[in-house]
C-alpha cells in the first residue's frame, strides 16, 4: 500500500478513535508517531522539534490565553446580570422584549469575551428563571438563550477566529473585520424572529408590566443604564477599535482586553484575590488543553504531509472533477456533522489543515472560508441532538425544562443559521466588504 493511501487511513483512524472517546491530543500525536515511524522512519521526526517550537513561539497564539482570561474575568464581574436587567427594562414594553434583551446582551458578551460555554451558562443561570417567571414559553426562552450564547463563535474577538487564522495562515485582524458584518446581521435576524413570533403568538412572549418599568425608572435609572452600557462598550471599543484602527495587533488588543476586564471587575466591586485565583486557574487549564491539542495536531500535520496525504487528496478531488463549490459544500457538510460529536478546537486542528491546501488549489479566498467555517461551527453547536450549547444550557436549567423543550426551541434558530450561512456563501461581499 502506498504512503499516500496510508495517510488517508491515518486520518480516518484518528477520527474514529476520537469519536470513540479517546483523548484528542494523545490520539493525534500518538497515532501519527506510530504511522510515521513505520512509513517514514525515525529520522523523519528530526523535523518535529522545529515545528513544535514554531508553534510555541507563534505570536498570534498568545492571544488565546489573553482572550480566555478576559472572558472568564468578565463572567466573574457581574456584567451580564447588570446588562440583562437594564436591557429588559428598556425593551420591556415590547412583546418579546426580554428575549430581545437576551439576544443583545449575548451579542455584547460575545464582543467582550468570545467564549461560548461561559456565555451560555451565564445567560442560562441569569435569564432563564426570569423568562420562565414572566410566562415565556420554555421553547422560546431556551432557544433564545442557546443561540445568543453561541454568538461568541462568530462575533470578534472570537477564540475560534484566532485559531482559524493561525491554521489557515491568514491575518486574524482581517478575520475579525470579515466576521463583523455577518455577526451583526445574524443578531438582527435573531431579533427579527423574536419580534415576528411575539406578534404572531403574543402569549409565549408577554411584555413586562408597566408598574415594574415605572418602578425601575423611578430609582436613578439613567445612571444605571449608562453604567451598564458604557463599561462593556469601552472594553469592546478598546479591543476591536484598536485592531481595526491599526493601533494594535490582535495579540496586543487581547492584552488590553485582559487588563480592561480586570479593571471592569474592580469597578463592579467583584474583584478579590480568590476571584483572580479562580480566573487564572481556569485560564491555565483551558490554555493547556488548547496547546496540547495543537502540539498533537502539529505532529499529525507533519506526518500527514510527509506521507503525501494532502497531495493525494488534491489528486482524488481533481480526478472526481469536483468543482470548487462542490468541494466547499462537501467540507461544510463534514464540519457540520463533525460538530455534533467533537469540539470546535478539535475540528479546527484536525480537519482544517487537511482541506486548507485544497481551498488554496481552487484559488478560494481563505478569509471568506474562515468565516464560513466559524458560522458552520456555530450552527453545529446549536443543532440537535448533540449541540454543545444545548448540553451547557441543560446543565444549568431548572428541572422543569426538558430536552424536548431545548430541541423544539432551537430548531427555528438553526434554520435561521442555515439560511444565513447559504446567504454568506452566495454573497461573499458580506464577508469581504471590510477587508477589501
Q: In total, how many domains does the chain have?
A: 1
**C-alpha 233 chain-centroid distance:** 20
213-246 per-residue burial string, b: 16 or more CB within 10 A, e: under 16: beebeeeeeeebbeebbebbeebbebbbebbbee
3-state helix, strand, coil in the chain (%, to 5): 80, 0, 20
Containing 2, the helix (H) or strand (E) segment is none
Angle of helix 97-112 versus helix 116-133 axis, rounded to 10? 160
pLDDT of residue 114: 59
- Look at residue 152 and give its three-state secondary structure: helix
pLDDT of residue 241: 81
**C-alpha 192 chain-centroid distance:** 22
Closest CA to 110 of 149, 173, 152, 141: 152
pLDDT of residue 220: 65
| Dist. CA 308–CA 8, nearest whole Å | 9
* CA dihedral for 254, 119, 287, 385, sign (positive or negative): negative
pLDDT of residue 218: 65
Query: Hey, what's the cell of 144?
Result: 433564545
Contact 194, 103 (CB under 8 A): yes
pLDDT of residue 129: 83
pLDDT of residue 333: 87
Structural domain range at position 398: 3-432
- Look at residue 307 and give its three-state secondary structure: coil
pLDDT of residue 371: 92
- Count other Cβ atoms within 10 Å, centred on residue 280: 14
Contact 375, 417 (CB under 8 A): yes
* Residues in the chain, pLDDT under 70: 1, 112-118, 215-222, 341, 385-386, 436
Q: Which long-range contacts (CB under 8 A, 24 or more apart) does 207-216 make?
A: 207/92, 207/93, 207/94, 207/95, 207/97, 208/88, 208/89, 208/92, 208/93, 208/97, 208/98, 208/134, 210/93, 212/89, 212/92, 213/89, 213/92, 213/93, 216/89
How many CA atoms are closer than 13 Å to the CA of 24, on its beta-carbon side? 21
**Residues 311, 368, 422, 380, Cα dihedral to 10°:** 70
Amino acid at each position: 500500500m502506498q504512503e499516500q493511501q496510508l495517510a488517508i487511513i491515518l486520518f480516518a483512524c484518528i477520527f474514529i478513535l476520537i469519536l470513540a472517546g479517546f483523548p484528542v491530543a494523545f490520539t493525534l500525536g500518538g497515532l501519527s508517531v506510530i504511522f510515521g515511524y513505520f512509513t517514514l522512519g525515525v529520522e523523519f521526526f528530526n523535523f518535529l522539534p522545529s515545528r513544535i517550537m514554531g508553534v510555541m513561539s507563534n505570536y498570534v497564539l498568545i492571544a488565546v490565553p489573553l482572550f480566555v482570561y478576559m472572558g472568564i474575568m468578565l463572567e466573574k464581574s457581574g456584567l451580564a446580570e447588570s446588562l440583562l436587567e437594564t436591557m429588559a427594562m428598556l425593551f420591556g414594553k415590547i412583546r418579546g422584549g426580554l428575549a430581545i434583551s437576551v439576544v443583545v446582551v449575548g451579542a455584547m458578551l460575545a464582543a467582550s469575551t468570545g467564549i461560548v460555554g461561559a456565555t451560555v451558562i451565564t445567560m442560562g443561570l441569569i435569564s432563564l428563571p426570569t423568562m420562565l417567571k414572566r410566562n415565556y414559553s420554555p421553547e422560546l426562552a431556551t432557544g433564545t438563550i442557546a443561540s445568543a450564547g453561541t454568538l461568541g463563535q462568530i462575533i470578534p474577538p472570537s477564540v475560534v477566529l484566532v485559531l482559524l487564522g493561525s491554521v489557515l495562515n491568514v491575518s486574524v485582524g482581517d478575520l475579525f473585520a470579515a466576521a463583523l458584518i455577518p455577526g451583526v446581521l445574524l443578531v438582527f435576524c435573531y431579533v427579527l424572529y423574536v419580534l415576528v413570533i411575539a406578534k404572531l403568538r403574543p402569549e409565549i412572549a408577554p411584555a413586562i408590566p408597566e408598574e415594574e418599568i415605572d418602578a425601575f425608572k423611578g430609582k436613578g435609572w439613567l445612571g444605571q443604564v449608562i453604567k451598564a452600557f458604557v463599561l462593556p462598550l469601552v472594553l469592546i471599543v478598546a479591543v476591536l477599535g484598536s485592531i481595526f484602527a491599526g493601533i494594535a495587533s490582535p495579540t496586543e488588543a487581547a492584552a488590553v482586553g485582559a487588563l480592561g476586564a480586570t479593571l471592569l471587575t474592580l469597578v463592579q466591586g467583584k474583584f478579590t484575590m480568590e476571584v483572580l485565583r479562580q480566573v487564572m486557574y481556569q485560564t491555565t487549564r483551558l490554555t493547556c488543553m488548547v496547546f496540547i491539542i495543537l502540539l498533537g495536531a502539529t505532529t499529525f500535520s507533519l506526518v500527514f504531509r510527509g506521507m503525501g496525504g494532502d497531495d493525494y487528496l488534491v489528486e482524488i478531488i481533481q480526478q472526481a472533477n469536483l468543482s470548487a463549490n462542490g468541494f466547499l459544500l462537501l467540507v461544510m457538510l463534514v464540519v457540520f456533522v463533525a460538530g455534533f460529536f467533537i469540539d470546535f478546537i478539535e475540528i479546527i486542528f484536525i480537519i482544517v489543515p487537511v482541506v486548507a491546501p485544497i481551498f488554496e488549489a481552487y484559488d478560494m479566498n481563505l478569509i471568506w472560508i474562515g468565516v464560513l467555517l466559524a458560522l458552520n461551527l456555530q450552527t453545529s453547536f446549536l443543532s440537535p441532538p448533540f449541540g454543545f450549547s444545548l448540553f451547557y444550557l441543560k446543565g444549568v436549567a431548572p428541572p422543569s425544562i426538558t430536552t424536548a423543550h431545548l430541541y423544539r426551541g432551537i430548531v427555528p434558530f438553526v434554520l435561521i443559521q442555515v439560511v444565513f450561512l447559504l446567504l454568506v456563501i452566495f454573497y461573499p461581499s458580506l464577508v469581504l466588504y471590510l477587508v477589501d
